[in-house]
C-alpha cells in the first residue's frame, strides 16, 4: 500500500512496486484515509509519507501499530533531520526512505522488508 498526498510520488512508487513484481492493494492521499484503507486491506507493506494532510504520517503510523503491532511500515520523508528519522524508527517504523528517491534503494528496501517474516 502507498500513502502519499503527491500524485507524482505515488506514480513513482507504483512503478517501482511494479518493477519488483509487487501488487499494489491500496492507495491513500491523507492520514485518515491511510488508517482506514490499511485496516480494510491489511497490506504486507505500507509506504507512508510523513507530511500528509488531515493526519500526519507519524500519527497514522502510531494508530496503525496500536491496532496491528506487526504491521510493516516504511516511512517516507524529505526531511534529513536526524531527529525526524529517529522518531520514525522509535515509533515502530521498520525503515525510512528519503526523498528525492534513489530508485534502486527503494526497491531494495521494499524487497527486504517484505521478505522479513512476521513475528
Partner 1 sequence: MKIIYSLVKMSDEFHKIAKQEIQTELDSLRQILLQCNDDKGISNVGDQIEKHLHKIKGLAPMMGQNNVGEIAKLNDVILRYVIRNGETNGTYMVINESLQIMQEIFSDTNKNNIDEFKNKIRKTFPNIFNQ
Task: List interacting residues with partner 1 (CB under 8 A).
Answer: 6-9, 11-12, 15-16, 19, 51, 77-79, 81, 99-101, 103-104, 107
At closest approach, how far in Å is the CB of 35 from partner 1?
21
- Phi–psi pair at 48, nearest 5 degrees: -125, 120
At closest approach, how far in Å is the CB of 94 from partner 1?
20
Residue with smaller CB distance to partner 1, 13 or 71: 13
Residue with smaller CB distance to partner 1, 54 or 103: 103
How many Cα atoms sit within 13 Å of 98 on the Cβ side? 7
Taking a C-beta distance cutoff of 8 angstroms, is the pair 52, 30 a contact? Answer: yes
Amino acid at each position: 500500500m502507498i500513502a502519499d498526498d503527491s500524485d507524482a510520488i505515488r506514480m513513482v512508487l507504483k512503478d517501482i512496486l511494479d518493477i519488483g513484481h509487487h501488487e499494489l492493494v491500496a492507495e491513500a492521499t491523507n492520514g485518515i484515509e491511510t488508517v482506514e484503507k490499511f485496516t480494510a486491506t491489511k497490506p504486507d507493506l505500507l509506504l507512508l509519507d510523513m507530511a500528509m494532510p488531515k493526519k500526519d504520517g507519524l500519527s497514522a503510523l502510531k494508530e496503525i501499530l496500536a491496532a496491528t503491532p506487526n504491521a510493516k511500515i516504511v516511512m517516507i520523508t524529505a526531511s534529513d533531520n536526524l531527529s525526524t528519522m529517529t522518531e520514525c524508527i522509535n515509533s515502530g517504523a521498520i525503515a525510512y526512505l528519503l526523498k528525492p528517491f534513489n530508485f534502486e534503494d527503494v526497491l531494495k528496501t521494499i524487497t527486504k522488508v517484505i521478505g522479513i517474516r512476521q513475528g
